[in-house]
C-alpha cells in the first residue's frame, strides 16, 4: 500500500485500492484484475496501457461499478463506490462518465442524436425540455458539431469520428468531474485520431476534467497523459510520469512494448523481435511475476515471489525483482 | 528492373452501383511489383485499398464493375477463365486477411484446412501433406505443431491464428503474397513478430509481397516501395526511404505528422488534418484532397492532378503544389 | 470546425443496394393483397353483401351468377359473403393469437435476455416444457374441456405461440445487451426499466414484428386446420377452414366450394409470409447499422 499511497501527493480525486475483479467463463475463473492500486489527482490524465487481455478495460468498468469487484475499494472524492447502491450510486454516476472504443456501437441505432445526448439530462431529472435542448446544443457545439444539422439524425448517418464526437458530447453534457476513456481512438482512422485527441485535450481544459485514458497504443497514451501506468495480466508493472517512463523504462515489459512500436521512420531498423511468444491466459496466470514466462531476465525468485510496486526513480514505481534501471 | 514485373496493375478502376449513384472505389490505379520485392499500400479507410486488393485477386463483390488490366506472371487475370484462375490461386497468388477468425473455417481443424489446401493444389497424398503441414506450422513459429493439427481455430489465440493463416497462404509456395492489414487486429508485441515472420519467409522464398495497411510505421522499415492511396487513387508512389524523407504530397506529409510520435513530449498538440475524406459517390471536380490541404491553390479545385514523375523515375506524385520539389518540376 | 457531411461507407452502400432490390413488385403485390383483405374484412357489414347465414335451399351449390358472384354453398348461402365473413374470423384469430404471443413471449424474452441468471433459466425451461406438448393435442384437450369458442381458440393458439416469440426476443436481446450503447446507458445510471424500454425495446421490436407477420400466417393455417377438422370455430360461425371442411363433401359436384376458400387462405398466408420474410431480411443486423 505504501507505493500506492506515495504515488500522488496531491489530494486524489480517484483512489483505487487493491482492486480484484474476477469472473466466470465456462466453468473457469478469469483473473482479470488481481490487486491493482492507483491514484489519480484532480486535473490529471493517467494513461493506462497494456495489451489485450491485461484487464485494463475491466479495471475501467470496475471503477464505474459496471462490474462489481470481488474485493478492494474505489474511492471517488473520498466516497467508497464499492459499497454504494441504488440512488446514491446513480447520483455519483453523473460525475463519472465513460467513452468507449466503438463509437458507432455506443449509440442506440434507433434514437436520434438529440435524444441520445439529452438522455443523461433526463436520467438526472432535468424536466424542462427547453433547458435540456439548450444544454444539448451547447455541448454539441463544443465538440465541433452543428446542432441544427446533427440533432435530428440517426447514428448510422455519421462516420466513426463524428460518432465519437457525439459520444464525447454525451459524456460532457452533465459537466462531470472524471471521464474514463476506454480506447477512444483505436477504431478511428489515423487522420481522425489526431482530431479526437486534440478535442479531448481541449475539452479537458475547458471543463476542468480528470481523465483515465486506457489504450494499447503507447504513443497515443504518451501524447495525452501526465502519468502512465503499464498493466500486464491483471497487475500493474510500472507507473510513472510519461516522459520519464518512456525515456527510462524500469520494467522489462515496458521496454518490450516500447521496442515493438513500429516507428514511421525508414532509418530506424525495426529491432529483430525477441521471440517472446504469446501472453499466458488470465485463467491460469503464472505464479510469482506474471511476466516471467516472456521475460529474458526471469529467474527462480521471479517464479516464487510476486513483485510489488517499488520506487525505482523519483515518482516512478516498478513491480520487478530485476528492474532495468 | 530487369524484365517485366511480376504483377502489373494497369489503369484498374472499380465501380459499385449504389442507390446514391455510382461509387468509384478505385479510380484508375497503376502499380507494379517486381519478383521478390515488397510494396506497401498505405491509406485510411475508404481510400480503396481493400477494393484494390480484391480487384487484383479477382474477388470483387458481384455487382462491382472492373476495368483495366491485372497482369500477373504474364497472364491477364481479368480475362482468365475461372478454372485457370482457381489453379493460379494458392499456387502463385496467396492472401492473408486481417481477421484470422473469419478467414479460417471455424468448424474445420487446422490440420484439415492445411492438408486440404496442399492436396488440392500440390496434389500430395495424405501422409506427405501431413508432413508438410507440420513443417509449415513449425516454420511459422507455432510450438507443438503436431498437436495443433487437431485443434480448431477458436482454441488458438489471435496471433497463433494469424500464423496459421500465413502457413496456409505460404503452403503452396506462392510467387506473390498479399497481406491485407495482417496485424491490425493483433497486439503490438505480436504484431512485430508476425511482421518479422512475413519478412523472413519472403527473403527465404524470394517471394513478392504487398502489405496493405493504414499504419505508416508498419511500412517504414519493411517495404521497398510505398504507394499512398487517397479517395480511390494512388497519390504518391516512391521507394520507401524517399517517401518518408522527401515526400511530395501534402497528404503524405499530413498523415505522417498526425501520428503521435513516441519521442514527442506529452500534451503537444497534434497537427490534425481537418475535415474528412470525400464522399465516394460524389467525387470532386478537382483534387480530392483539396478541401483539407494546407497548400491548396486555385488550380487544385478546378482540375484533377495526374500522377507524374518527380526527379527520379521511381518517385511519382499527383499534385499541382507539391512540397520538397525544386523549381520547374510539378505534375 | 468539422462541417457535416453525410458519411457513406462501402458496406452500407452495398447493403442498401440489396435492400432496395428486395422491395420489388412481389413485395408490393403481397402488401396490396393484405391491405385488400383487411379492408374487405373490416368493411364487411357495410358492404352490399347478402347475409352469410341466409339459407336458400332452392339455390344450393348454384354456379356464379349476377345474384351470387361466387355461387352458393351446400346450404344455399352466398359464397362470396361467406368468404368475406370468413375472412373476419380467420383474420381475427390469426391476428389476436400472435398478439398474445408477442406481448407475453416478447416481454419474457426481453427480460430473460437482459437479466440472465436464474430468471432466464426458469423462463427458457418453462418455454421448453410448453413446446414439448404436441400442440394440436393440447388444443383439442382445451377445447374439449372448456368448449369451442373463438375466444378459447384464440387463447390456446396464442399461448402456444409464446415460446417462439420468447426465443426471438431473447436472441435479439442477448446480442444487443452486450453492445456498448446499453453499457453506456448503465454508466449513465439509467434504471433497468429505462434501459429495457428506451434502449432495448426499439431495437428488438423490428425482428419481433417481422416474426409476428410470419406468426399470423402460421396461425391462419392452424386455425384453418382445426376448423377443417371441426374442432376450431363452432358453427354457425365459419372461417375459411370450416368452409373448406364443408366443401369437402361436395368435392365431386362443386369443387369450387372447397377451392375458393383454400385459394383465399393460400394467397393471404403467402402474402403475410412474403412481407414478414422481407422485413426479417431487412432487420438482419449485419446490414448497415440497423
Which run of H or E residues covers position B179?
strand B176-180
**Tens digits of per-residue pLDDT, B160-211?**
889 999 998 888 888 999 999 988 878 888 888 888 889 888 888 899 999 9
- Average pLDDT for residues C39-48, to the nearest whole number? 86
The residue of chain C with its CA nearest to that of A174 is C188
| CATH class of this structure's domain C23-42+76-282 | mainly alpha
Q: How many CB pairs under 8 A join A and B?
A: 136
pTM > 0.80: yes or no:
yes
What per-residue confidence (pLDDT) applies to B52? 92
Mean pLDDT of A207-230: 92
- Report whether pLDDT(C7) > 50: no
pLDDT in tens, B169-181: 888 888 999 999 9
SS3 of residue B225 by DSSP: strand
Question: Which element (helix H / strand E) includes C282?
Answer: helix C256-282
Interchain CB contact of A149 with C (< 8 Å): yes
Report how far apart, in Å, the C-alpha atoms of A87 and of each of A93, C174, C193 are. Answer: 10, 27, 14
The candidate with the shortest Cα–Cα distance to A26, out of A307, A283, A308, A286, is A283
Give the helix, strand, coil percentages of chain C, each rounded to 5: 75, 0, 25
Q: What is the ipTM of this complex?
A: 0.82
Return the DSSP state at A234: T
- The residue of A65, A105, A196 whose CB has the most chain C CBs within 10 angstroms, and thus the best one to mutate to test that interface, is A105
Q: How far apart are CA B23 and CA C213, in angstroms?
A: 36
User: Across the interface, which of C189, C199, C289 has its CB nearest the CB of A94?
Assistant: C189
Chain A residues with CB-CB distance to C7 below 8 A: 157-159, 162
**Residue C4: predicted pLDDT:** 34
The whole-angstrom separation of Cα A234 and Cα A32 is 5
Interface of B with A in 77-116 (CB under 8 A): none
Q: How confident is the model at residue C288 (pLDDT cuts 50, 70, 90)?
A: very low
- Are the C-beta atoms of residues A146 and A169 closer than 8 Å to each other? no
B140 or B325: whose pLDDT is higher? B140
| Under 8 Å between Cβ of A178 and A210 | yes
Q: What is the pLDDT of residue A297?
A: 85
Confidence of residue B314 (pLDDT cuts 50, 70, 90): confident
pLDDT at B325 over 70: no
Mean pLDDT score across all residues of chain B = 86
Residue B324: give the domain boundaries. 247-261+270-331
List of chains touching B (3+ CB pairs within 8 A): A, C
Average pLDDT for residues A200-208, to the nearest whole number?
93
Give the β-pairing of A210-215 and A45-49: parallel
Q: What confidence tens digit (pLDDT) does each residue in B281-298 have?
A: 888 888 888 888 888 888
Residue B241 lies in a domain: no
A145 touches chain B (CB under 8 A): no
**In this complex, do B44 and A269 lie within 8 Å of one another by their Cβ atoms?**
no
Q: For position A275, what pLDDT does the model report?
A: 65
Q: Could you tell me which chain B residue has the CA closest to the CA of A281?
A: B157
Q: Please give the pLDDT value at position B90.
A: 67
Backbone angles phi, psi at A227, to 5 degrees: -125, 155
Contact C211/C218 with Cβ under 8 angstroms? no
Residues 6+ apart with CB under 8 A from B295: B250, B321, B323
Q: Which three cell numbers stand for residue B76?
A: 491477364
Q: Which of A253, A250, A259, A255 is nearest to A316 (CA)?
A: A250
- A180 pLDDT band (50/70/90 cuts)? very high
Q: Please tell me the total number of residues recorded for chain B in this structure.
A: 331
With a pLDDT cut of 90, the percent of chain A lying above it is 54
B276 contacts C2? CB cut-off 8 A: yes
Q: What torsion, rounded to 10 degrees, do the Cα atoms B103, B104, B105, B109 define?
A: 180
pLDDT at C22 over 70: no
Write out B92-114 in H/E/C secondary structure: CEEEECCCHHHHCCCCCCHHHHH
Evaluate if residue C101 carries a pLDDT over 90: yes
* B69 within domain boundaries: no
Give the Cβ contact number of residue A102 at 10 Å.
18
Q: Strands A12-25 and A71-76: what pairing?
A: antiparallel
Is residue C71 left, alpha or beta, with left meaning phi > 0 and alpha meaning psi from -120 to 50?
A: left
Handedness of CA B314, B320, B325, B327 (dihedral sign): positive
pLDDT above 90 as % of chain B: 19
Residue A219 CA neighbour count, 13 Å, CB half: 21
By the CB < 8 Å criterion, does A262 face chain B? yes
Q: What is the pLDDT of residues B8-49, one digit of tens each?
A: 999 999 998 887 788 889 988 999 999 989 999 999 888 889
Provide the grid cell at C226. 382445426
Contact of B40 with B228, CB cutoff 8 Å: no
Q: Which residue has the higher pLDDT, C152 or C109?
A: C109
Mean per-residue pLDDT for C6-35? Answer: 64
- Kindly report, residue by residue over B105-138, the tens digit of the pLDDT: 888 898 998 888 888 878 888 888 899 899 989 8
Helix residue spans in chain A (DSSP H): 2-7, 56-63, 86-93, 113-123, 129-142, 147-150, 160-172, 190-207, 218-224, 242-247, 252-260, 300-304
- Which grid coordinates belong to C9? 461507407
Q: What is the mean pLDDT of the segment spanning B253-259?
A: 88
What secondary structure does DSSP assign to A153-216, as a single string?
Answer: S-GGGS-HHHHHHHHHHHHHTT--SEEEEESTTTTS-HHHHHHHHHHHHHHHHHHT-EEEEEES
- CA angle, residues B1, B2, B7, in degrees to nearest 5: 70
Q: Which residues of A291-312 are buried (b: 16+ CB within 10 A; e: fewer)?
A: bbbbbeebeeebeeeebbbeeb
Residue B324 has pLDDT above 80, yes or no: no
The answer as to whether B237 is a domain residue is no
Cα B214 to Cα B217: distance, rounded to the nearest angstrom: 9
**CA-based torsion, C256, C262, C265, C268: positive or negative:** negative
Which of C7, C14, C20 is the closest to B61 by Cβ? C14
A contact test, residue of B143, B164, B188 with most A CBs within 10 A: B188
Question: What's the mean pLDDT in A24-30?
Answer: 84
Residues A156, C6: C-beta atoms closer than 8 Å: no
pLDDT at residue A173 in the model: 94
Is residue B51 a part of any domain in this protein?
Answer: no
Q: Which 231-270 residues of chain B touch chain A by CB within 8 A? A: 240-241, 244-245, 254-256, 258-270
Q: Is B29 exposed, middle or buried (0-12, 13-18, 19+ CB in 10 A)?
A: buried
- Mean pLDDT for C178-184 is 87
Q: Tell me how far the alpha carbon of residue C61 is from its chain's centroid.
A: 32
Is residue B326 one of the residues assigned to a domain?
yes
Residue A298's φ and ψ, nearest 5 degrees, are -70, 145
Residue B203, Cβ density class (10 Å: 0-12 exposed, 13-18 middle, ≥19 buried) = exposed
Q: In chain A, which residue's Cα lies nearest the Cα of C206?
A: A110
Tell whether B20 lies on the interface with A, counting CB pairs under 8 A.
no
The predicted-structure confidence for C120-136, as pLDDT tens digits, reads as follows: 999 999 999 988 888 87
Average pLDDT, chain A: 88
Give every CB contact of residue C15 below 8 A, 6+ residues apart in sequence.
Answer: C286, C287, C288
Q: Is the Cβ pair A100, C190 closer than 8 Å? A: no
Question: Edge-to-edge strand order for the sheet containing A96-99?
Answer: A96-99, A178-182, A210-215, A45-49, A227-232, A235-241, A316-318, A310-313
- DSSP state, residue C57: G
Number of folded domains that form chain B:
1
Does residue B217 lie in a domain region? no
Residue B280: list chain C partners with CB under 8 A: 8, 10
Asked if pLDDT for residue C159 goes beyond 70, the answer is yes
Task: Identify the band that residue B58 occupies on the pLDDT scale cut at 50, 70 and 90.
Answer: confident
What pLDDT does residue A3 have? 46
Residue from the list B221, B255, B260 with its beta carbon closest to the beta carbon of A191? B255
Q: Is the pLDDT of residue C21 over 60?
A: no
The average pLDDT across C55-75 equals 78
Q: What is the pLDDT of residues A135-144, one digit of tens each?
A: 999 999 999 9
**Residue B154 reports pLDDT greater than 70:** yes
Residue B308: inside a domain, yes or no? yes
The answer to whether A243 contacts B261, with C-beta atoms less than 8 Å apart, is no
Return the sign of the alpha-carbon dihedral for residues B64, B67, B71, B75: positive
φ, ψ for residue B171, nearest 5 deg = -60, -35
Cβ contacts below 8 Å, chain B against chain C, sum to: 40
Pairwise CA distance, residues C166 & C179, whole Å: 20
Nearest to B215 among A192, A262, A278 (CB): A262
| pLDDT tens by residue, A34-93 | 999 999 999 999 999 998 888 899 999 999 998 889 999 999 998 999 998 888 888 888
pLDDT score recorded for residue C1? 31
Q: What is the pLDDT of residue B114?
A: 87
The stretch B142-155 carries a mean pLDDT of 88
At B87 the pLDDT is 81
- What pLDDT is recorded for position C284? 59
Give dist(CA B212, CA B41) in Å, integer: 5
Q: Which residues, in sequence order, are CB contacts of C204 under 8 Å at separation 6+?
A: C106, C109, C110, C169, C172, C173, C176
Q: Parse chain C into domains and list their residue ranges.
A: 23-42+76-282
User: Would you state the pLDDT for residue C236?
Assistant: 76
Amino acid at each position: 500500500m505504501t507505493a500506492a499511497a506515495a504515488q500522488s501527493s496531491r489530494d486524489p480525486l480517484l483512489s483505487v485500492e487493491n482492486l480484484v475483479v474476477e469472473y466466470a467463463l465456462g466453468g473457469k475463473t478469469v483473473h482479470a484484475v488481481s490487486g491493482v492500486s492507483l491514484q489519480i489527482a484532480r486535473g490529471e490524465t493517467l494513461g493506462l496501457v497494456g495489451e489485450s487481455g491485461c484487464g485494463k478495460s475491466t479495471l475501467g468498468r470496475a471503477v464505474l461499478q459496471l462490474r462489481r469487484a470481488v474485493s478492494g475499494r474505489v474511492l471517488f472524492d473520498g466516497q467508497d463506490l464499492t459499497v454504494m447502491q441504488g440512488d446514491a450510486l446513480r447520483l455519483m454516476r453523473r460525475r463519472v462518465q465513460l467513452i468507449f472504443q466503438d463509437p458507432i456501437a455506443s449509440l442506440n441505432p434507433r434514437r436520434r442524436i438529440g435524444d441520445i445526448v439529452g438522455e443523461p439530462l433526463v436520467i438526472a431529472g432535468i424536466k424542462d425540455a427547453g433547458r435540456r435542448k439548450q444544454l444539448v446544443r451547447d455541448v454539441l457545439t463544443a465538440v465541433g458539431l452543428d446542432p441544427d444539422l446533427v440533432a435530428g439524425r440517426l447514428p448510422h448517418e455519421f462516420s466513426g469520428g463524428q460518432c465519437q464526437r457525439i459520444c464525447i458530447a454525451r459524456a460532457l453534457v452533465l459537466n462531470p468531474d472524471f471521464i474514463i476513456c476506454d480506447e477512444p481512438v483505436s477504431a478511428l482512422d489515423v487522420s481522425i485520431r489526431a482530431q479526437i485527441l486534440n478535442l479531448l485535450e481541449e475539452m479537458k481544459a475547458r471543463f476542468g476534467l480528470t481523465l483515465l485514458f486506457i489504450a494499447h497504443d503507447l504513443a497515443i497514451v504518451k501524447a495525452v497523459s501526465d502519468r502512465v501506468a503499464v498493466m500486464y495480466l491483471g497487475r500493474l508493472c510500472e507507473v510513472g510520469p510519461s516522459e520519464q517512463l518512456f525515456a527510462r523504462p524500469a520494467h522489462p515489459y515496458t521496454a518490450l512494448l516500447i521496442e515493438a512500436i513500429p516507428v514511421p521512420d525508414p532509418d530506424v531498423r525495426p529491432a529483430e523481435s525477441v521471440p517472446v511468444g504469446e501472453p499466458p491466459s488470465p485463467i491460469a496466470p503464472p505464479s510469482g511475476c506474471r511476466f516471467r514466462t516472456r521475460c529474458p531476465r526471469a529467474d527462480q525468485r521471479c517464479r516464487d515471489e510476486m513483485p510489488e510496486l517499488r520506487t525505482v526513480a523519483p515518482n516512478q514505481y516498478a513491480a520487478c525483482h530485476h528492474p532495468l534501471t | 528492373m530487369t524484365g517485366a514485373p511480376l504483377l502489373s496493375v494497369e489503369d484498374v478502376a472499380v465501380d459499385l452501383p449504389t442507390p446514391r449513384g455510382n461509387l468509384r472505389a478505385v479510380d484508375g490505379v497503376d502499380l507494379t511489383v517486381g519478383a521478390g520485392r515488397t510494396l506497401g499500400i498505405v491509406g485510411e479507410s475508404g481510400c480503396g485499398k481493400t477494393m484494390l486488393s480484391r480487384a487484383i485477386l479477382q474477388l470483387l463483390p458481384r455487382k462491382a464493375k472492373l476495368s483495366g488490366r491485372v497482369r500477373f506472371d504474364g497472364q491477364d487475370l481479368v480475362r482468365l477463365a475461372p478454372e485457370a484462375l482457381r489453379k493460379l490461386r494458392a499456387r502463385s497468388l496467396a492472401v492473408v486477411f486481417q481477421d484470422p477468425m473469419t478467414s479460417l473455417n471455424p468448424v474445420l481443424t487446422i490440420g484439415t484446412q492445411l492438408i486440404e489446401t496442399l492436396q488440392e493444389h500440390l496434389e500430395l497424398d495424405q501422409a506427405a501433406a501431413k508432413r508438410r503441414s507440420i513443417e509449415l506450422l513449425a516454420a511459422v513459429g507455432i510450438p507443438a505443431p503436431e498437436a495443433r493439427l487437431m485443434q480448431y481455430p477458436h482454441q488458438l489465440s489471435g496471433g497463433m491464428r494469424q500464423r496459421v493463416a500465413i502457413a496456409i497462404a505460404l503452403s503452396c509456395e506462392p510467387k506473390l503474397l498479399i497481406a491485407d492489414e495482417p496485424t491490425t487486429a493483433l497486439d503490438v508485441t505480436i504484431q512485430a513478430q508476425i511482421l518479422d515472420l512475413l519478412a523472413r519467409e519472403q527473403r527465404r522464398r524470394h517471394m513478392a509481397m504487398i502489405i496493405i495497411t493504414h499504419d505508416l510505421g508498419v511500412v517504414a522499415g519493411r517495404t521497398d516501395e510505398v504507394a499512398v492511396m487517397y479517395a480511390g487513387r494512388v497519390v504518391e508512389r516512391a521507394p520507401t526511404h524517399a517517401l518518408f524523407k522527401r515526400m511530395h504530397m501534402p497528404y503524405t506529409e499530413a498523415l505522417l505528422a498526425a501520428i503521435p510520435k513516441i519521442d514527442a513530449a506529452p500534451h503537444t498538440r497534434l497537427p490534425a488534418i481537418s475535415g474528412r475524406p470525400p464522399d465516394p459517390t460524389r467525387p470532386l471536380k478537382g483534387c480530392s484532397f483539396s478541401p483539407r490541404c494546407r497548400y491548396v491553390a486555385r488550380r487544385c479545385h478546378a482540375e484533377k492532378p495526374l500522377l507524374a514523375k518527380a526527379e527520379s523515375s521511381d518517385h511519382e506524385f499527383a499534385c499541382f503544389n507539391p512540397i520538397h520539389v525544386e523549381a520547374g518540376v510539378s505534375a | 470546425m468539422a462541417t457535416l457531411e453525410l458519411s457513406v461507407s462501402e458496406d452500407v452502400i452495398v447493403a442498401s443496394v440489396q435492400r432496395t432490390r428486395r422491395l420489388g413488385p412481389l413485395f408490393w403485390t403481397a402488401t396490396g393483397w393484405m391491405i385488400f383483405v383487411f379492408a374487405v374484412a373490416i368493411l364487411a357489414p357495410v358492404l352490399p353483401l347478402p347475409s352469410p347465414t341466409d339459407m336458400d335451399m332452392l339455390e344450393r351449390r348454384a354456379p356464379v351468377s349476377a345474384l351470387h358472384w361466387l355461387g352458393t354453398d351446400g346450404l344455399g348461402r352466398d359464397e362470396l359473403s361467406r368468404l368475406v365473413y370468413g375472412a373476419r374470423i380467420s383474420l381475427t384469430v390469426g391476428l389476436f393469437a400472435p398478439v398474445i404471443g408477442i406481448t407475453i413471449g416478447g416481454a419474457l424474452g426481453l427480460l430473460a435476455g437482459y437479466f440472465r441468471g436464474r430468471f432466464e433459466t426458469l423462463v427458457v425451461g418453462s418455454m421448453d416444457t410448453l413446446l414439448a406438448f404436441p400442440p394440436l393435442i393440447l388444443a383439442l384437450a382445451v377445447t374439449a374441456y372448456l368448449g369451442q369458442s373463438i375466444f378459447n381458440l384464440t387463447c390456446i393458439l396464442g399461448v402456444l405461440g409464446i415460446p417462439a416469440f420468447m426465443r426471438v426476443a431473447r436472441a435479439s436481446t442477448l446480442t444487443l445487451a452486450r453492445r456498448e450503447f446499453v453499457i453506456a446507458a448503465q454508466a449513465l445510471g439509467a434504471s433497468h426499466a429505462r434501459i429495457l424500454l428506451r434502449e432495448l425495446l426499439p431495437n428488438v421490436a423490428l425482428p419481433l414484428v417481422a416474426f409476428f407477420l410470419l406468426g399470423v400466417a402460421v396461425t391462419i393455417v392452424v386455425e384453418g386446420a382445426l376448423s377443417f377438422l371441426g374442432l376450431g370455430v363452432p358453427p354457425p360461425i365459419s372461417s375459411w377452414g370450416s368452409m373448406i371442411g364443408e366443401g369437402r363433401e361436395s368435392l365431386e359436384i362443386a369443387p369450387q366450394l372447397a377451392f375458393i376458400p383454400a385459394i383465399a387462405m393460400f394467397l393471404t398466408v403467402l402474402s403475410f409470409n412474403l412481407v414478414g420474410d422481407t422485413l426479417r431480411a431487412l432487420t438482419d443486423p449485419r446490414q448497415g447499422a440497423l
